[in-house]
Amino acid sequence: MMDRIRPHLWFDTQAVEAAEFYASTFANSKVVDVSTIHDTPSGDTDVVSFELLGQPFMAISAGPLFRFNPSVSFLVRVGEADQVDQLWGKLSAGGTTLMPLDSYPFSKRYGWTEDRYGLSWQIMLAGEEGTDQPITPTLMFVGEVCGKTEEAIRFYTSVFLNSSIGSLLRYGKDE
């Protein structure tokens, strides 16, 4: 397996709870390890390793110093519409809808939600296209860095060995 960047998610106190929720939401997923670091500036800190659809993730309960926002989200591409609906139902419960589950020009079934822990998920019907990485971290560049996405991509691929640019998706004129 190719080395990949492992997303590391920062929670206030809910890392274990969130990792267990995500592992129960995605098929073939599991919490791998939970350990506690004692006497940190945030007190005792849980560190969780977990896998979602075979992809490794980590989470930490490190206090209220950081909050998720939709500029970083996880795009989940699945092959069947009922899988989209099932994931949407679980991830959106108790959360906030950012784009309703619907049909859009780029996908027959897509929705964007912020889950009950504040983490942003985009659930998309990929159809026969599929993907070798079903969960893809997605970055949105807004404000002062709006329009600098390709510059950032070129920088990131220059920093990490064996990196390459996959596909670039651009908004249309009125999107």
Q: pLDDT tens across 53-112, in order?
A: 999 999 999 999 899 999 999 999 999 999 999 999 999 999 999 999 999 988 999 999
Q: Which phi and psi angles does 9 have, rounded to 5°? A: -100, 130
Q: How much is the pLDDT for 52?
A: 96
Closest-CA residue to 98 (of 76, 126, 77, 69): 69
At 1 the pLDDT is 42
3-state secondary structure of 89: helix
- Between the CA of residue 41 and those of 61, 84, 153, 173, what are the distances in Å? 12, 40, 34, 47
What is the 8-class DSSP label of residue 175? Answer: -
Higher pLDDT, 37 or 133: 37
Judged by DSSP in three states, 148 sits in coil
3-class DSSP state of 81: helix
Alpha-carbon distances of 82 from 86, 88, 89, 127, 167, rounded to whole Å:
6, 10, 10, 11, 26
Q: Got the DSSP string for 5-50?
A: ---EEEESS-HHHHHHHHHHHSTT-EEEEEEEEEEETTEEEEEEEE
- Domains defined along the chain, listed by start: 8-61 (3.10.180.10), 72-143 (3.30.720.110)
Higher pLDDT, 133 or 139: 139
Closest CA to 138 of 103, 168, 164: 168
